[in-house]
Chain A
Amino acid sequence: MKTALVFIEAKDNEIKKGSLECLSALTGSGWALQTCGLKETLSVVEQLKKWNVQKHYSSDHSSLDSFNPETHLQFIDQAFQDSAADLFLASSNTHCRDIFPRLAVRHDAAYMNDVTEITFKDGVTVKRPLYAGKCSAQVTFSDDSKKILLLRPNQVMVLDAKGAGAGDTVSIALNDVPGKSKTVSVQEGESEKLDLTEASIIVSGGRGLKEAENFKLLEDLAAPLGATVGASRAVVDLGWVPHSQQVGQTGKTVAPVLYIAAGISGAIQHLAGMSGSKTIVAINKDDKAPIFQKATYGIVGDLFEVVPLLTEKLQSLK
C-alpha cells in the first residue's frame, strides 16, 4: 500500500482549512495516511485520528518557533524520510511554497504547486491552471519519483471525518540545525484576515472607487462577509493599496467561493487571476465592462450607492 504524508497547519486548536482540504483529497484514495506538523499541531492529534491518520510527526525544537525556511525545511525533510511516504501533500500558501521546492531537490522528487484536482486511479493524476488561469493542464509524471504536491486552497470540498486512526505521535529530533540564515523579526500585520489566496470570500475594488479613502466602503462590505479585500493592478500602481492585495496575473491568482468586484472594468490580466472563483459578482457603471463576461451576477449601477446598500443588507442578515 502506498503512503501519503500531509503537512498539517493548526491555529487555536483547530486544523486549518487548507490542511483539511489536503486530508479530504486523500479520503477514499486507498492510501495509508501519515501527517506531520509543528508543535501547535499536537493539540489537534485527536482530530487527526478521525481522518485515519496512523502516525503524526512533530517537533518542539526551539529553532522552529518562528518561521525560517532553513529550519522548517529540515523538519519536513526529516518527516518525509521517517514516513517513507510516496507522496507529500500540503496547502499552497506562502510558507509551504517557501520550503517544499527545496525538499524536492533533496528527494529528487516531482514538485507541483497550485494543484486544483488530484485523482487516485491508475496512479496519481493531477490538474492545475497555467497562465494565471487562462488555461489548465494535466500534470503527467514521467517516472516513479516521489511526489510533492501543494493543493490550491478552496478547490477540494472539506469532508466529514469519521474514521479512527491510531494517531500515534512521533517526535522528530532535529540535529545540527543549520545556521546560514536567521529570523530577525516577525511583525504581526494589523489585519486578522486571511490572505487573498486562502480567503473563501473576496471583495475587490478598482479605479471606479475614485480615490484611496473610498476603499473604506469595501472594508465595510468585507466585515459582515468575513471577506478579504483585494484590488486591481491599476489602483496598486496608483499606490492606493499595497501590492499584497493585488489580484491578477502580476498579483495573486485567487479562486474563492465568492468574488465581488466593485468598480473593476476587468483587464485581461485581472480576469485571468480571478476567473477561477466559483461565484462572481460585478458591480460597474459601464454595462460594456469586460468583467461582466466572467461574472455570474451583474449590477450596472453606481457602486457608491450599491455597495453601502449591500453592506447594510448583509449586516441585517447577521
Chain B
Amino acid sequence: MRIFVCVKQVPDTETRIKILADQLGIDPQGVKWVINPYDEFAIEEAVKYKEAHPEAQVTAITVGPKARVNNALLTAMAMGVDDSILVDTDVALDSLTTAKALAQAIQKEGDFSLIFAGKLAIDGNLSAVPLMLAELLGVPHSSVVNQLEYAGQSLKATREVEGGNKETFELQLPALITASKGLNKPRFASLPGIMKAKKKPVKNITLDELGLNESNIKIKFTHYEPPAEKPPCKMIEGDPKAQVDELVRLLQEEAKVL
C-alpha cells in the first residue's frame, strides 16, 4: 500500500513580509521557512496510518527550489515518513502547474491508496493544489477534514463547514484527503528520527523531466503592495460608560457601520 503526503514550505507565521523593489515578490532575506502548519496534520495522519498498517510505504512529495525545500522533506522523514520525492524548480508555479507536476511525479510511481495534504497553505491561502491533484488523478477527495475512519477499501471523512454544520462523506479508495486542525496532534521530530531521516532516500526530479515548464503557467502575481496605511487608532478616553457611549456614537456617525 502506497501513501503520499504533499508538503509545502512557507514563511513562518511570525515573518514580517518585505516586498522586493520590482514588486514581483517578497524579499527572501530573513524569511524563516517552515512546513505549512496544515501539512503537519497530513504528515501525522500518514505516519499514524503506517503505524497501524506497517506494510504501508509513506512518501512525502514537494515542489520547489531544492536547496531550500529539502529541509521540509527531512522534517517529514524525521516525523516517520519513509522516503521523499522532490520536484526541483526555481520558478514560481501557479496552482494548476504545481498540481500537474505532483500528479505526474506520483503517476510515475505506480498505484497508490491515499494522498494526504494540508487544507490550505498559509502563504497563498489557495487550497487549490490538492483538489486539482485529485482531479488530475481521477480520485475522490474530501477537504478540511477533522475526523477520519478507515474501513478497508473505503473511508469516512467528517468536516465542519459554515455555521458549525458537520458533513460526513464516504469515499472509495484511492482517495485524497486535506487535513484541518483537530484531525490529530502532530508529533515533534525526535533526535533519533532526525538522524534516521538523513539516511532516507530522496528522489530528485526536475520540472523538465515531467514535461512542464514556464509556458504552462497561467497566473503570475505582480504589483505586490503592503496593506494600505491605516490612520492612527482613535483612543477613546473616560470612564467605561462614557467610553461605550462615545464608541457607539463613532460607529454610527463616523464609521457608519451600525
Are chains A and B native binding partners rather than an unrelated pairing? yes
A10 within 8 A of B: no
- Could you mark each residue 156-200 of chain B with 1 if its beta carbon is under 8 Å from any beta carbon of chain A, else 0? 100011111111111110010000111000000000000000000
Residues of B within 8 A of A69 (CB): 140-143, 169
A104 to chain B, nearest CB (A): 6
Identify A292's interface contact among B127, B136, B143, B233, CB under 8 A.
B233
Residues of B in contact with A, size category? 35 or more
Residues of A within 8 A of B38 (CB): 250
Q: Are A135 and B240 in contact (CB under 8 A)?
A: no
B19 to chain A, nearest CB (A): 6
Q: Are A243 and B182 in contact (CB under 8 A)?
A: yes
In A89-110, which residues have CB < 8 Å from any B CB? Answer: 93-95, 97-98, 101-102, 104-106, 108-110
Q: Summarize B's interface: helix, strand, loop or mixed.
A: mixed
A222 within 8 A of B: no
Q: Are B16 and A268 in contact (CB under 8 A)?
A: yes
In A42-72, which residues have CB < 8 Å from any B CB? Answer: 67-70
A68 to chain B, nearest CB (A): 7
Q: Are B181 and A243 in contact (CB under 8 A)?
A: yes
B91 within 8 A of A: no
Complex CA gap A290/B136 in Å reads 44
Identify A129's interface contact among B13, B125, B171, B257, CB under 8 A.
B125
Complex CA gap A47/B174 in Å reads 43
Complex CA gap A129/B14 in Å reads 17
Known pairs A137-B221, A299-B243; A104 contacts B128 (CB<8 A): yes
Q: Are B168 and A113 in contact (CB under 8 A)?
A: no
A13 within 8 A of B: no
A131 within 8 A of B: yes
Query: Nearest CB to that of A125 among chain B residues?
Result: B223
Residues of A within 8 A of B244 (CB): 299, 306, 309-310, 313
In A291-308, which residues have CB < 8 Å from any B CB? Answer: 292-302, 305-306
Q: Are B127 and A257 in contact (CB under 8 A)?
A: no
B217 within 8 A of A: yes
Known pairs A98-B131, A101-B128, A181-B140; A293 contacts B164 (CB<8 A): no
Complex CA gap A102/B250 in Å reads 45
Residues of A within 8 A of B181 (CB): 236, 243, 246, 250
Residues in chain B within 8 A of chain A (CB atoms): 11, 13-17, 19, 26, 37-38, 94-96, 99, 122-129, 131-132, 134-136, 139-144, 146, 156, 160-172, 175, 180-182, 217-227, 230-231, 233-236, 240-241, 243-245, 247-248, 250-251, 255, 257-258
